[in-house]
Amino acid sequence: MADETSSSTDNIDYDADAVARLRDLAESYRAQGKYAEAEWPLRRALEMCEASLGADHLDTALCLNNLAELYKNQGRYQDAGVLHKRAFMTRRKLLGDKHPATATSINNLAEYYESQGKYDRAEPLYRHAAAVFGEVMGAEHPNTATILNNLAELCKRQGKYAEAGALHKQALRIFQKSLGEMHPDTASSLNNLGELYGILGKYDQAETLCARALDIRARILGPEHPSTATCYHELAALRQKQGKYAEAEPLYRRALTIRKKTFGAEHAHTAATVSNLAELYKSQGKYEQAEALCIKALRALEKTLGADHPNTATSRNNLAQIYECQGRHTEAEPLYARALASLESALGVQHPSAATVRANRDNNRMLRDQSPRA
pLDDT at position 263: 87
1-7+16-137 classified as CATH 2.60.40.10: no
pLDDT at position 266: 87
Q: What is the pLDDT of residues 148-193, one digit of tens each?
A: 999 999 999 998 999 999 999 999 999 999 999 999 999 999 999 9
Query: What distance, in Å, lies between the first and last C-alpha atoms of the chain?
Result: 51
Q: How many CB atoms lie within 10 A of CB 16?
A: 17
pLDDT at position 11: 53
Q: What is the pLDDT of residues 84-121, one digit of tens each?
A: 999 999 999 999 999 999 999 999 999 999 887 888 99
pLDDT at position 260: 94
- Between CA 315 and CA 357 the distance in angstroms is 11
Specify the 3-state DSSP secondary structure of 12. coil
- Between CA 220 and CA 228 the distance in angstroms is 10
Entry pTM: 0.79
Query: What is the pLDDT averaged over residues 51-57?
Result: 94
- Between CA 251 and CA 210 the distance in angstroms is 13
- Between CA 75 and CA 95 the distance in angstroms is 29
pLDDT at position 2: 60
- Which is nearest to 230 in space by CA: 288, 118, 314, 153? 153
Whether 8 has a pLDDT exceeding 60, the answer reads no
- Between CA 79 and CA 286 the distance in angstroms is 38
Q: Which helix (H) or strand (E) holds 214?
A: helix 203-220
C-alpha distances in angstroms, 147 versus 98, 132, 196, 229, 303? Answer: 15, 10, 17, 23, 28
| 193, 142, 62, 98: CA torsion to nearest 10 | -110
What percentage of the chain reaches a pLDDT higher than 90? 78
Whether 23 has a pLDDT exceeding 60, the answer reads yes
Burial 107-128 (b: 16+ CB within 10 A, else e): bbbbbbbbbbbebeebbebbeb
pLDDT at position 215: 96
What residues contact residue 174 under an 8 Å CB cut-off, 6+ apart?
139, 140, 141, 142, 144, 145, 148
- Which is nearest to 342 in space by CA: 363, 371, 320, 324? 320
